[in-house]
Structure 1
């Protein structure tokens, strides 16, 4: 259990480095909201029980204390659902001071009420506040330990007023066990929030991937092409290097779909994507920008090598029964800054001219 908690804490710290602070704060505020709700409900119930059971020997101070804590916790829980949530979360030092005062005041309230060091019910709240709000465990241990020492000191100074030492020790132990239980619940809640955050992060990453990737072929889609090519074009323009764009159109895809079914058409597109990716290599940006249209952006490749690569791709596709038409456009240094849309349009027109020639000579 301890090793698992250490692993989760280490994972959380790694994710916090360079992560979106707003998203991290929202997760923490959700945990704070749950903790304050538990505190408010628990101490409202304790106030009602204390007020309706005179035999418990609790006077006005513990009742007022419980009611005040329930009110503060309720207000805090409500605040976590408003614009004050992140302000509250980031005020860690102030929360630490308030929790410390509440914890250390608890045995004093017990003494004022009974003339003894018998613990007041408010102690439970203070530890819950510390467990729910303090982000550093060492703070919680130090404060709870100080409260326990204060109880022992008061017991030695003023006595237990008829309460046996065993009973007194049991009450102190019970309060600490309650604190441990509540802290365990908080840790479990926090672990569940981490799992929820992971699921959201995975969904976000998948959405980001699908936004720029063609699902069928695994190539970049039009949006992915624009994003990747912009950087490549800017680099080539700055370094004075050529950029080539090859446009491919799969001939007869509609006929394949009509005669053999869409599964066969999808298979032809997937084969075309694999061949184009392997032919042009990792430095090229290969994308599927339409139903049967592919584009390869070749940074730092001049017209001659681009023509050779395009011819090799066409031959490889023809060898696996995928007929394509291809067109080439090249940007050379000295022209106006390279524009992706212009290069794609020029390559598209060149492809259309090549297809027309094939049709007339075929």
Structure 2
């Protein structure tokens, strides 16, 4: 959506420069106005090409190409009023130059690129004012440039502050979207997003990983006997027992009413076993018993988070049945 708005903004800029070029050529009575008009139309073509690139091939503009593209666009736009002054000899009032300075401060997101370009526009404008002469003192020209510079700085600082607040708000919204309200652990969406990343990284780095499914036994009886508030307290206590995993760069989530999931990654098998033992110890100390099932990736098999979650869930259900009916195990034995 943000890319669509950017493409639309650049496209509107292209239309604006087409209008400027045509109107300037038809109605501006200054000498040699054809040159700045031609530059305005070329600028429109450049912006139209960028609009098409943003709309159709967004992946082309990565974090390495973006500064180059922004700088080229700013230079093309910024040269327009300077070409006008150079060919018409009208250095004051340089409204176009002042607008370009403000636009550079507002639209160029790279601070030092914006500063350098604004400084170059200032120097060029003052130089043209000296070379071509104006009806006002040079000090008045410089004062107008300084006013534009100050306005550009104010707009840039305001935009940076607004952008920072938007980033923080987006981060907060993202965090809330993947967080379980009752426990503070990840929710189903959160474990889906971060679990896939953890699994992929573990496979790439050849690090051992295990997925665990945890189910609180007898939660329905707690709710029926003592009310849902008591059941919520059991859920909160289980979440608190697993929250240390998040601080240890591990993953823990509540994916349903009484269902929890952990994804553990370690540098060695022994460290992974230690993490598993600590999880068992943490939930084993709760007042309400739990059932746990584990699943580990197997060499030669297709490994997916969904598959590991399904396997750990089956193992957890087997564990729950054994806990409820221990005589079945003895019968089988």
- TM-score relative to the length of structure 1: 0.57
Aligned to 1:100: 82
Whether 1:123 and 2:105 are equivalent positions in the alignment is: no
- The alpha-carbon distance between structure 1 residues 260 and 131, as it changes in their structure 2 partners (threshold 3 A), is farther
8 Å contact kept, 1:104–1:146:
no
Aligned to 1:314: 283
Whether 1:346 and 2:304 are equivalent positions in the alignment is: no
Aligned to 1:327: 293
Q: Alignment length, in residue pairs?
A: 279
Counterparts of 1:140-179 in structure 2, within 5 Å, are 140-150=121-131, 168-169=136-137, 172-179=138-145
Q: Unaligned stretches of 5+ in structure 2?
A: 55-68, 105-113, 328-333
- The alpha-carbon distance between structure 1 residues 199 and 238, as it changes in their structure 2 partners (threshold 3 A), is closer
Aligned to 2:161: 195
Partner Cα distance (1:342, 1:305) in 2: 24
Tell me how far 1:175 sits from its aligned partner. 4.3
Counterparts of 1:46-85 in structure 2, within 5 Å, are 61=29, 83=51
8 Å contact kept, 1:327–1:352:
yes
Partner Cα distance (1:140, 1:194) in 2: 22
Aligned to 2:61: none
Partner Cα distance (2:144, 2:204) in 1: 66
Provide Cα deviations, 1:34-80, integer angstroms capped at 9, x if missing partner: xx89xx9xxx9xx9xxxxxxxxxxxx957998xx99xx79x97xx89
Aligned to 1:139: 120
Tell me how far 1:92 sits from its aligned partner. 3.3
Tell me how far 1:184 sits from its aligned partner. 2.6
8 Å contact kept, 1:279–1:313:
no
Higher mean alpha-carbon deviation, 266-275 vs 352-361, is at 352-361
- The alpha-carbon distance between structure 1 residues 103 and 254, as it changes in their structure 2 partners (threshold 3 A), is farther
Aligned to 2:258: 292
Tell me how far 1:293 sits from its aligned partner. 0.7
Partner Cα distance (1:88, 1:357) in 2: 64
Partner Cα distance (1:311, 1:356) in 2: 18
Partner Cα distance (1:210, 1:289) in 2: 15
* Partner-residue secondary structure (3-state), 2:285: helix
Partner Cα distance (2:250, 2:166) in 1: 32
8 Å contact kept, 1:246–1:327:
yes
8 Å contact kept, 2:211–2:294:
yes
Q: Unaligned stretches of 5+ in structure 1?
A: 1-21, 48-59, 110-118, 156-167
Provide Cα deviations, 1:224-272, integer angstroms capped at 9, x if missing partner: 3344444554566678776433321123444555666655544432321
8 Å contact kept, 1:286–1:296:
yes
Partner Cα distance (1:143, 1:340) in 2: 60
8 Å contact kept, 2:222–2:231:
yes
Partner Cα distance (1:293, 1:149) in 2: 77
8 Å contact kept, 1:237–1:337:
no
Aligned CA RMSD, in angstroms, stands at 4.8
Structure 1 or 2, whichever has the larger Rg, is 1
- The alpha-carbon distance between structure 1 residues 102 and 64, as it changes in their structure 2 partners (threshold 3 A), is closer
Partner Cα distance (1:198, 1:103) in 2: 38
Partner Cα distance (1:213, 1:290) in 2: 13
